[in-house]
Structure 1
Amino acid sequence: MRYHPLTSDDRRDMLAAIGVTAIDDLFVDVPEDKRLTGLLDLPRGKSEIEVERLMGRLAGRNVAAGSVPFFIGAGAYRHHVPATVDHLIQRSEFLTSYTPYQPEIAQGTLQVLFEFQTQVARLTGMEVANASMYDGSTGTAEAVLMAHRITRRRKAVLSGGLHPHYREVVETLSRIAGDVTHALPADPTATEDILAAIDGETSCVVVQSPSFYGHLIDLKPIAEKAHAVGALLIAVFTEVVALGAIEPPGAQGADIVVGEGQSIGNPLNFGGPYVGLFATREKFVRQMPGRLCGETVDAEGTRGFVLTLSTREQHIRREKATSNICTNSGLCALAFSIHMTLLGERGLTRLAALNHAAASDLADRLAAVQGVAVLNETFFNEFTIRVPGDAATVVERLADKGVLGGVPVSRLEPSRADLSDLIVVAATEVATEDDRAAFADALAAVVAEVL
């Protein structure tokens, strides 16, 4: 027997109080074709052992990232995560720590977040970083909202090299907030003139480097043009390991730096949980979303940590909240911080060099395949190739041959028929020479079938 704590009258009274006539009215912002209209196609009931067997068979259909040559990236990257990371984050003092609602008695949690913030600030070349966001995409949208608060303008210019998912999240939040977004067309060849799109109404310019297509972007001229008209530059990244090899965005003039930290400490996990990194200039700190942990001394002069800023909707002055982010990705941030500590500055630089070397070797191998072209002149560990025929079909045939050979651009840009022959390919330190050779051989065989 199901327990229903609310009566029909209770529901009707609540709906009336918030000004709607039916529960469905609460979901008007969800497209109709995305709403579930009936029950899921699942058995109504099975025994525990039957469920275990069924789920085991379903899981067996997955191809684990480590079981075949793996070259998928596009915002989620396979890296080696030391076993030490998983061991330490499962210690009870970390695993059970959720969030510092009573910060004065959560010194361990606050210290970890303080160290995390320090690492992110140094990586990005910025003056201050927060205690993490949910992921890179929502962090980017929050950065745009922050820029609007600072500049008192409502227009964001989005580079065509911004990850399509990040662009869509920004556009969704902007639409709800009544803000304006000007998204430049997809830019697989890095030839867009983003400077021409910046005008006196621009609040911020959002540029990803390395871009979704793998290109390294010189942020300095973009920052100069943005600052000349009173706008801010938001620098975005999806592959944090790249910051071990390229000039930090802060040194290139970025005002806000935001991105995905999954590559450090957090393995692939069917889409999450991830950890968003967010850093900015100190003068903008009071407009920064999320939490900020600080260092202090107590009455006896002993070093301690405090929750310095936490302007969010659960606290006092909630109408002044900079974000409705209720928490931070604490456990993922901890994993990030532990892995980064194990690497150190030299380790991160070495890891970045290994990634670039693997990608450079793979690019040379794939470019030698008849009918295949590499579109990038610059890249870190990810680049874009053009293949004969439909890229999605090529990727499927590569999978049939035991190689996960990248992400077809059409999967993320389905409305752009002119991009249907492009594949975004990533090679990290775990892609061995044998893996890279297998990819090139498999691609040559698939292309020969197409030609």
Structure 2
Amino acid sequence: MRYLPLTPADRSSMLETVGASSVDELFRDVPEAARLSGPIAGLPMHASEMAVERHLGKLAAKNLDAGSAPFFLGAGAYRHHVPASVDHLIQRGEFLTAYTPYQPEIAQGTLQVLFEFQTQVARMFGTDIANASMYDGSTACWEAILMAARVTRKGKAVLSGGLHPHYGEVVRTMAKFTRDEIVSLTPELSAQTDDAAVIAAIDETTSSVVVQYPDIMGRIPDLEAIAEAAHAAKALLIVVVTEPVALGLLEAPGHLGADVVVGEGQSLGVGLQFGGPYLGLFGCREKFVRQMPGRLCGETVDAEGKRGFVLTLSTREQHIRREKATSNICTNSGLCALAFSIHMSLLGGEGLEQLAAINHDRTQALVERLTQIPGVSLLSDAYFNEVTLVLPRDAREVVRELADKGILGGVSLGRLFPEQVDLHNGLLVTATETVTLEDIEEFAAGLAAVLEGEAA
């Protein structure tokens, strides 16, 4: 495709039409502090290709790779072993280059994969249906809140203090454009989840209640009690799952009263990938299917009675009148959904349960070892593969000192909640099947040395 630049006359005409005096005026909503007033200081205007490659290589070498060090990070993105078969299969040409399956007669493979993916997610979540994936967990969470507002015709969402703060930020940002009321509860460094506070915040104007399971500190909320309170107020319970492997051991949210279950599918089939692309999961009760965002693949038969697959539901604004659209999601994370589905197929139900059990065993071993260190205590004894430890000082400093020793020792709550000083001694650590007993011992020795050095 040729690039045809605009002439000055073209630009002037366009600016006049939209009522702007200059191109810069189009960016007036961007805070002035975030705008560049000129070239970036210290960055050369040009360099040779070899010089750029060498410089970028030096920058990349400063990273501490997840696979080259004891790794205990989580907080919504988890390091699991991805079988080599996953990468091999998703790189097949018919998958890697596939686009939206508008023409079912030439896209049966893609449609069948999405149908199987939906089935796997619905069974995992305990919901009647699931869509063909979304962008990521945080945007799926917001779409669920929008859906609840359409279903209930109310506009207040209650967010548990245990919801991942990044998810909460996405929700609050998007709500500025819809004028939905968002009630965000304050997280507490407590062994108990904030179930009582969530229930107390529900009233007749509430459209949805959003609870993470397990929550951001690794605790397990009582979904049945919250569901009962939400339904009594004719509100929907939205459950967020950032670690789907946990559902190999924990009861599915849909079986505990959740109306909508959303989450992040990165743990299965998708690597950490420096934060993306990831995979949004979305499941709900069948009676809400017409209000569900995204798209739905279905099974049917052709004129000869042979099994086939089609796009059954696609209520995005490209396909129907904009005011009737349930979402502006223009596609699904197809390749990541395929990777998820392949990994799930390789595991099967029993395999997922075994993987979850290994994760929990590793975390128990981690907790037992780290709590032997003076000054380190466990926040809650109800957890899956992620737990919060309480340290005798600010965990942000501890994490930095551990990194200097080549140990990626968890995520500090101070990083997640910088404004909340009472959480700053909390350290969120995760142990998956990729963590070895040697890793745990190295972490324990490093943590003890860091804390002893402070005490000295």
TM-score category, normalised to shorter length: over 0.9
Residue aligned with 2:311, SS: strand
Structure 1: runs of 5+ lacking an equivalent: none
Matched with 2:121 is: 120
Matched with 1:13 is: 13
Shift of 1:30: 4.0
Matches of 2:229 and 2:122, distance apart in 1: 24
Matches of 1:328 and 1:281, distance apart in 2: 20
- 1:223/1:253 contact within 8 Å kept: yes
Matches of 2:244 and 2:36, distance apart in 1: 36
After superposition, the Cα gap between the structure-2 partners of 1:245 and 1:25, relative to the gap in structure 1 and judged at 3 Å, is: farther
1:143-171 Cα shifts (integer Å, max 9, x gaps): 11111111111100000000000000001
Matches of 2:282 and 2:37, distance apart in 1: 38
- 1:388/1:450 contact within 8 Å kept: no
Residue aligned with 1:270, SS: helix
Matched with 1:148 is: 149
Matches of 1:26 and 1:203, distance apart in 2: 36
After superposition, the Cα gap between the structure-2 partners of 1:205 and 1:432, relative to the gap in structure 1 and judged at 3 Å, is: same
Residue 261 of structure 2 is aligned to residue 260 of structure 1: no
Residue aligned with 2:275, SS: coil
Residue aligned with 2:441, SS: helix
Matched with 2:175 is: 174
- 2:141/2:263 contact within 8 Å kept: yes
Matched with 1:103 is: 104
Shift of 1:5: 1.4
Amino-acid identity (%): 63
Matched with 2:342 is: 338
Q: How does 1:77-226 map to 2 (within 5 A)?
A: 77-189=78-190, 190-192=192-194, 193-226=197-230
Matches of 1:301 and 1:375, distance apart in 2: 58
Q: How does 1:263-412 map to 2 (within 5 A)?
A: 263-412=267-416
After superposition, the Cα gap between the structure-2 partners of 1:349 and 1:32, relative to the gap in structure 1 and judged at 3 Å, is: farther
Matched with 2:252 is: 248
Residue 426 of structure 2 is aligned to residue 422 of structure 1: yes
Residue aligned with 2:273, SS: coil
Shift of 1:85: 0.3
Shift of 1:296: 0.3
After superposition, the Cα gap between the structure-2 partners of 1:441 and 1:236, relative to the gap in structure 1 and judged at 3 Å, is: same
1:106-146 Cα shifts (integer Å, max 9, x gaps): 11111110000000000000000000010000110111111
Residue aligned with 2:274, SS: coil
Residue aligned with 2:329, SS: coil
| 1:272 alignment partner AA | G
Structure 2: runs of 5+ lacking an equivalent: none
Q: CA RMSD in A?
A: 1.5
After superposition, the Cα gap between the structure-2 partners of 1:222 and 1:74, relative to the gap in structure 1 and judged at 3 Å, is: same
After superposition, the Cα gap between the structure-2 partners of 1:85 and 1:380, relative to the gap in structure 1 and judged at 3 Å, is: same
After superposition, the Cα gap between the structure-2 partners of 1:48 and 1:168, relative to the gap in structure 1 and judged at 3 Å, is: same
Matches of 1:28 and 1:241, distance apart in 2: 44
After superposition, the Cα gap between the structure-2 partners of 1:152 and 1:406, relative to the gap in structure 1 and judged at 3 Å, is: same
TM-score, with structure 2 as normaliser: 0.95
Matched with 1:234 is: 238
Matches of 1:399 and 1:159, distance apart in 2: 31
Matches of 1:355 and 1:35, distance apart in 2: 45
Matches of 2:229 and 2:28, distance apart in 1: 40
After superposition, the Cα gap between the structure-2 partners of 1:145 and 1:19, relative to the gap in structure 1 and judged at 3 Å, is: farther
- 1:161/1:188 contact within 8 Å kept: no
After superposition, the Cα gap between the structure-2 partners of 1:329 and 1:191, relative to the gap in structure 1 and judged at 3 Å, is: closer
After superposition, the Cα gap between the structure-2 partners of 1:430 and 1:179, relative to the gap in structure 1 and judged at 3 Å, is: same
Shift of 1:347: 0.5
- 2:298/2:311 contact within 8 Å kept: yes
Matches of 1:175 and 1:346, distance apart in 2: 44
